[in-house]
Amino acid sequence: MFILIIKTIIIGLIEGITEWLPISSTGHMILANEFIKLNVSDKFWEMFEVVIQLGAILAVVVLYFKALFPWGFGKTKVETNSTFKLWFKIIVGCIPCAIIGLLFDDFINDKFYNPWTVAIMLIIYGVLFIIVENNHKNKKSRVTNINDLSFIDALKVGLFQVLSIIPGTSRSGATILGGLLIGLDRKVAANFTFFLAIPVMFGASLLKIVKFGLSFSVSELVVLLVGMLTAFVVSIIAIKFLLKYIKNNDFKVFGYYRIILGIIVLLYFILK
């Protein structure tokens, strides 16, 4: 049991870091399962690698509670209405992913949850990050405040989020890239990405738990809770790091990281 908990903590660390950096958390989780095998059933692992992300999502809720909660904190009526409007934009942005996820969840799990897909997507989106950042250099952003984000902008970012259903893509990577392409500055794109994660991952986690059922063994429950708690703590650090990083840096370094990791993974499984 001790070894199982240590392995779970390592996986929680991976999830907490990769959920928010645009390098694909699901992709890293699939790769982690190749090298850090948890002594759990395939059915539990399929649920665990999604539900562990709830810990990461709770970090967003804690860090942005004042911005996302409509009442209190001395908010005026205008500010309360603005918060509700932001939530409507978040919901609009989540609609495309919710529809595609519900319709094709089983198909995507069967066909795309494998190291080959992860490696290819890591490389493709790594290249795209570099191209988009090179083209975005010195361009003035159209939206520099999240309150100025339109419902159409929210829907467009939501459509980019659909791309992240394929493992290895990165949900944050797809939405940040999409945000930059439609004229959002990096901070707005990153913050809206964080907010979109809340309903998307709550919904995805609920779907996985319903499919798995509530018949957890004691060891399975411990693994799930330890993984979520670790992901929560690490996510707080990762989010703060990313927001500080993007003040003076672009995302090309993540593009290079994705390409290098993707090549390493491809070589590993070719030579395996």
Convert the pLDDT of each residue in 177-204 to its tens digit: 899 899 998 889 999 999 998 888 888 7
Of 71-75, 78-82, 219-223, give the lowest mean pLDDT range: 71-75
> Average pLDDT in the 58-79 region?
87
How many domains does the chain contain in total? 1
**Mean pLDDT over each residue of the chain, to the nearest integer:** 88
List the end-to-end C-alpha distance of the chain, in Å, as a whole number: 29
Range of the domain at 23: 2-271
DSSP category for residue 226:
H
Answer for the pair 197, 151: CB distance below 8 angstroms, yes or no: no
Between CA 255 and CA 259 the distance in angstroms is 6
- What is the pTM (predicted TM-score) of this model? 0.83
